[in-house]
Amino acid sequence: MPANGFGLACAWIDQRHATRGWGATLPPASMPRIDFRFTSLQALVQAHQAALAAR
């Protein structure tokens, strides 16, 4: 949520994308605005590399 409060883009590494629920983590009081969603850090890096190559 802090990123949204400062007007920054928010990325979520959703490692539990194939699993329901929050596991041992408490669910957030409210969901932040998610600008980028990835299933792993590797996927984030690949997207970043692709964006750099497209410049």
- pLDDT > 90 in the chain, percent: 51
Of 7, 6, 9, 10, whose CA–CA distance to 28 is shortest? 10
Query: Amino acid letter at 19?
Result: T
| Segments of the chain with pLDDT less than 70 | 1
**pLDDT in the model for residue 1:** 60
The enclosing H or E element of 37 equals: strand 36-38
Domain ranges across the chain? 1-13+35-55
Record the pTM: 0.72
Q: What are phi and psi of 4, to 5 degrees?
A: -60, -40
